[in-house]
Amino acid sequence: MTRQIALLANPTAGRGNADQILDAVTERLAASGALVEHLIGDDADHALELTRKAVAEGVDTVVTLGGDGMVHVAVQALAETEVSLGVVPLGTGNDFARALGIPTGDPLAAADVVVGDHVRRIDLGRSDDSWFATVLAAGFDAAVNERANAMRWPHGDLRYTLAALSVIRSWKPVPYRLEIDGVPREQEAMLLAIANTESYGGGLRIAADCDPADGLLDAILIKPVSRLEFLRVFPGVREAKHLTHPAFERIRARRITVSAPGVIAYSDGERLGPLPLEVECVPSALGVLVPPRS
């Protein structure tokens, strides 16, 4: 039976080359004998609507052409289904693809992974009716996202750098109230991240060596330190140097409830909403097309 693939594309991805990449990837997938349709939404809500419609109509695979934000959209439609997810990374972060060994610098190599049809089932995080595949941020990192999204200038990485410098000037430890697999805990911390994969923000390895198929989420805390010390520690997250800092703590759990005043949470880099939230790991909730040895 002919394989049906829906290609979910972000028309702004690929540094202006999205149309050419879309055509090349479509040709590569079609050459395998698959029937390929394009899903191009006007915005995230429209893209999700199109994806859910494709799933309802019996598509075999949804392939995202874009970044982690596009993966986040697809996950909302594919969670707890038998429809597999393929990823052709074109974003600036690509943390999800990196976590699963999917090529990030070569769209046609990523398309070949889709053609290979090797499925790995991984866990997802869920909060109410929202799913996430990578990391839910609910501390300094989320505040930087919130500040950066409110800025109209500059664009790119510089905006996040300026947002981080702005936030750290007044940042204080957050008084979290947690419940971890039913056990209550109160903890002040500079940062709280709940991870399904190891990185966010384009390679910040906040939960280095996190296993997305172990049936657990990794709750990462960086406990109170001075602002100067935090500025020294946080850049080292990219190389996972924070793992040996005495303020670092990792807790693995199936279900986590978190509340704190004035904190907005982000998941997969997308705004989720204010705390409190209850987050749970849903084992084997998503099938992802990966290289055979991933």
pLDDT in tens, 211-270: 999 999 999 999 999 999 998 998 899 999 999 999 999 999 999 999 999 999 999 999
Q: How confident is the model at residue 163 (pLDDT cuts 50, 70, 90)?
A: confident
Mean pLDDT calculated for residue range 35-55? 96
Residues 6 or more apart whose CB falls under 8 angstroms from that of 57 comprise: none
pLDDT at 14: 58
pLDDT at 294: 62
Query: pLDDT for 49-67, tens place per residue?
Result: 999 999 999 999 999 999 9
Please provide the DSSP assignment of 108-128 as one string: HHHHHHHHHT-EEEEEEEEET
Tens digit of each residue's pLDDT (9 = 90 or more) over 91-143: 888 999 999 999 998 999 999 999 999 999 999 999 999 999 999 999 999 99
Confidence of residue 150 (pLDDT cuts 50, 70, 90): confident
Ordered structural domains, the chain, with CATH = 4-117 (3.40.50.10330), 135-282 (2.60.200.40)
The residues near 133 (Cβ < 8 Å, ≥ 6 apart) are 68, 71, 72, 75, 96, 122, 124, 125, 196, 197, 212, 268, 286
- CA 140 from chain center: how many Å? 17
pLDDT, mean of residues 137-156: 86
3-state secondary structure of 171: coil
* CA distance readout (Å), 141 to 40, 117, 134, 191, 260: 30, 35, 14, 7, 15
